[in-house]
Amino acid sequence: MKEGQKLWTRNELILTINLYYKLPFGRLHRLNPEVIHLANLIGRTPDAVAYKLVNFASLDPSLKARGIKGASNTSKLDVEIWNEFFNNLNVLAFESEKLLANTEHISIEQLNHIPEFQLIKEGKTREQLVEVRVNQSFFRKSILASYNNTCCITGIQQPELLIAGHIKPWSVDKENRLNPQNGIAINALHDKAFENGLLTITTDFKIKISPTLFKQKKSKSIEDYFLKLDNQDIILPTKFLPDMEFLKYHNEVCFKQ
C-alpha cells in the first residue's frame, strides 16, 4: 500500500460489489456517473472505485470462463467479500441495499422506488414485503446490466419491454432466486413462452422451439415470432453467463418436447 492510502473497509467493499452487480461490464470505469457517485459517498476517488470494480470482475467465474481478466492484484478481503456475496446473495443483496440506503440517508423504500401506498404501515408483513420487492429489484438490475438492457432472444433494447426471467423457476429453487446466472433478459412475449416450456435455451446457448408450436396449424405470427427463431444463437450477456445446470433443468423439465 502506498503511503497515505487507507485500507478499504468491509462496508465500502459491500457497496462496491453491490454496484458491480448493477453495472454492465463495459461501464466499470472512472467516468461513469454511478461510479463517481459511489466514490463521493464513501470518500474514495472514482479511480479507486473503478479499480475495485475491475478487481471483482477478475473474480467473476463467468468472465474467467470466457478468458476475460480483470486486475491481477486483488486483496484477500476482496476475495472474501466476493465469495461471501456471491455465495449468499439471498441475504447479502438485501443487506447491501440497506447499507446503501443508510449511506445515502434515505429509506430503502425510497432507494428502490417502492410507493408507500403499495405497503402496509408497519409490522413484520411490511418488512417481508419490502425485502421481497427490494430483492426483485436487485435481481432485475443485475440481469439487465449483464445483458446490456438487451433481450437475449430478439435484441430489443427498451427496458420497459424487458423482464428479468428465471431459468430455473422461482418457485422451484429458493436458493438461486437472486443468482444472476439463473436469469435472462427477455421480452414479455418470449418470457411467457419460456415460462410455459414453449421455448428453451440449450446448453450451447441456442434457442429451441417446442414441437408443440411446430405441430400447430401454421400462422404468420407463430412463424415470425417463434418458428424462425429455432436454432438461432441467443445474445449472450457480458457477465454472469447462464449456468449450465439451470439450462439443463429447463431443457429437461420445463420444455415441452
Res 3: pLDDT: 46
Res 119: pLDDT: 67
Residues 6 or more apart in contact with residue 241 via CB below 8 angstroms = 62, 65, 66, 181
What percentage of the chain reaches a pLDDT higher than 70?
Answer: 92
| Mean pLDDT, residues 43-53 taken together | 96
pLDDT in tens, 140-181: 999 999 999 999 999 999 999 999 999 999 889 989 999 999
pLDDT at 219 over 90: no
Is residue 148 classed exposed, middle or buried when 0-12, 13-18 and 19+ CB atoms within 10 A define those classes?
middle
Identify which of 37-41, 118-122, 223-227 has the greatest average pLDDT: 37-41
Question: Considering the entire predicted model, what is its pTM?
Answer: 0.90
3-state SS, 97-145, equals HHHHHHHHCCCHHHHCCCCHHHCCCCCHHHHHHHHHHHHHHHHHHHHHH
Res 118: pLDDT: 65
The three grid cell numbers given for residue 138, joined into one nine-digit string = 436487485
pLDDT band for position 213 (50/70/90)? very high
Report the C-alpha gap between 98 and 108 in whole angstroms.
6
pLDDT in tens, 83-131: 999 999 999 999 999 999 999 999 888 888 877 766 666 666 778 888 9
| Mean pLDDT, residues 64-79 taken together | 75
| Mean pLDDT, residues 183-202 taken together | 97
pLDDT at 2 over 60: no
Q: What is the mean pLDDT of the chain?
A: 91
Q: Which of 200, 191, 131, 142 is nearest to 165 (CA)?
A: 191
